[in-house]
Amino acid sequence: MNRKFISLLLIFAFVFSALAFAETVTIKFLHRWTQEPDRSFFEEVVKEFEKQNPNVKVEVQTVANDPFKEKIKVILGTKDAPDVFFSWPGEFTNRFIRAGNILDITSYMLKDGSMFDYVGSQLIPFIYDGALYGLPYRLDGKVFVYNKEIFKEAGIDHPPATIGEFMDDLEKLAALGMAPIAFGNIRPWAVSHYIAAVNQKSVPEDIWEIDVDPAVGTWSDPGYVEALKIYSDLIPYFNDYTNAISHDDARAGFMQGQHAMMYVEIVEIPEIEREGPEGFLDKIGVFPFPATDGPGNQSYLVGYPEGFVVSSNTKHPEEAVAFLKFLTGREMGRLELEMLGWFNGIKNLVSPEEVKPIIYETTQLILDSNKMVNWLDSSLHAKIWSVYSVELQKLTDQITTPAKVMEEVQKIASEVRKEF
């Protein structure tokens, strides 16, 4: 009797464990944060998700920022494509959507109403042809951070609001014997952020919105040349060897007090707190790119959320979307803020007193902005950016002129239009 009972028990145990094993699904997750504390955060997310969903196993793959841009293009064309992966909204993602590589998650988000948990303006960048393709992982925008002590030393009592005031302040700061702006452009995405700001201020909104569409963009508005002239005026105030040093090298110079200001992403502010001298965060203030006299919109902020998308080839769309929602949802959003200092796209994530004032205020700049202007490099067609980026490095080295830069851009844009 006992023998029979034990045999039956063993059979049941075997069958149930086999069923449980058969039901376990594995989803591959690819992100681009290879260092601490980001790695630990993602490990925590995966651990928590697997705890709450015992039938799902998440396999994490990590590739650093620059190689990520190349690797994702290769693996999306194979059967090993990750189920959930990082992507920059805009043309970087849109080309994958056009190629049918990314899952439309609109119905998944509407089914349980989770779409409405997110800040609307931060979902817009993930919409293509009326469908939603991704969710925001962290909000981001570009601002100048400045050293209040150095500003005071130069006799500047408030940050500049207009480009005229900005130029006056740069002169006063240069008189202290320093290069006022820290700038590292060895990877030209750095200059793309400046150019996105000046383009948007110098060119009417409806025109640059058309121009970023590779099928129709001509880049012929004279405002683009004017924008580059504004950028050219700033070049004498950058540190030496701009095109030879990295953004991180330049930031180290700013944190050491060698420069008075730097154009940084809002998500870098927690990093400045972690890496800078003790109490450095209290010494800095922020201001958006100053307004110009141009015909563009002066109040928009350069920056876009970064997020994650689901592969259209996933065999487990339900589980992949569930993981995406979990990763970008409220619970993990609070953990992200606690561990990394970044806001995700969830509405009313925390109250103001729960975070440092500078982090809350800069995030409010994003939430209050009527519209965000995408980073130039990820909003442009790859071929157009290939020419634009090289010309901008030449301009930074002052070996070409704004007019010549735009001539080259117009030439390549015309070539690209023929492909559509």
Partner 1 sequence: MKSKANFNILFVIPALLIVLVFMYFPILMNFFNSLYRMTSYSNARTFVGFQHYAKISSDPIFYTALKNNALYAIFSVVFQVGFGMLLAILLEGKFVGRKIGTFFRNVLFIPSIISIPAVALLWYFIYHPRIGLLNGILASIGLDSLKTAWLANPNTAIYSVIMMSQWQYTGYIMVLLVVAIQKIPRELYESAEIDGANEFRKAIHITIPSIRSMISVCTIITVIGSFKLFSEIYIMTGGGPYNTTQVLGTYMYRSAFLFDEMGYGSAVAVIIFVITFGLSLVQLKSFKST
Interacting residues toward partner 1 by CB under 8 A: 69-70, 72-74, 76-77, 95-96, 99-101, 186-187, 240-241, 243-245, 249, 382-383, 386, 390, 393-394, 397, 419
Which residue, 282 or 397, is less far from partner 1 as judged by CB? 397
| Shortest CB 39 distance to partner 1, Å | 21
Distance CA 187, CA 64 (A): 14
DSSP structural state of residue 338: H
Alpha helix ranges (H) inside 235-284: 247-255, 268-275, 280-283
- In 3D space, the residue among 179, 114, 155, 197 whose CA is nearest the CA of residue 374 turns out to be 197
Q: Choose between 235 and 390: whose C-beta lies nearer to partner 1.
A: 390
**Pick 1 or 399: Cβ nearer partner 1:** 399
Asked if the bond preceding 37 is cis, omega within 30° of 0, the reply is yes
Nearer to partner 1, 186 or 235 (CB): 186
DSSP string, 175-187: TTTS-SEE---SS
Q: How far is CA 18 from CA 12, 21, 22, 315, in A?
A: 10, 5, 6, 20
* Cβ closest to partner 1, residue 225 vs residue 382: 382
Least distance to partner 1, CB of residue 98, Å: 8
CA dihedral sign, ordered 22, 25, 28, 34: negative
CB of 225 to partner 1, least distance (A): 20
> CB of residue 73 vs partner 1: minimum separation in angstroms?
5
- d(Cα 178, Cα 155) in Å, to the nearest integer? 15
- Least Å distance, CB 102 to partner 1, is 10
Burial track 32-64 (b if 16+ CB lie within 10 A, e otherwise): bbeeeebeebbeebbeebeeebeebebeeebbe
Nearer to partner 1, 95 or 229 (CB): 95
> Least separation, in Å, of the C-beta of 75 and partner 1?
8
Q: Tell me if residue 368 falls in helix, strand or coil.
A: helix
Min separation Cβ 87 and partner 1, Å: 12
Amino acid letter for position 314: T
> Which value, in Å, is the radius of gyration of the alpha carbons in the chain?
24
Q: Rounded distance, CA 179 to CA 256, Å?
A: 13
Nearer to partner 1, 107 or 386 (CB): 386
Distances (CA, A) of 3 to 9, 13, 190: 10, 15, 73
- Residue 417: CB minimum distance to partner 1, A: 14
Shorter beta-carbon distance to partner 1: residue 312 or 369: 312
- Give whichever of 95 and 283 is closer to partner 1, judged by the CB atom: 95
Q: Which contiguous run of DSSP H or E holds residue 49?
A: helix 38-52
What is the smallest separation between the CB atom of 253 and partner 1, expressed in angstroms?
A: 8
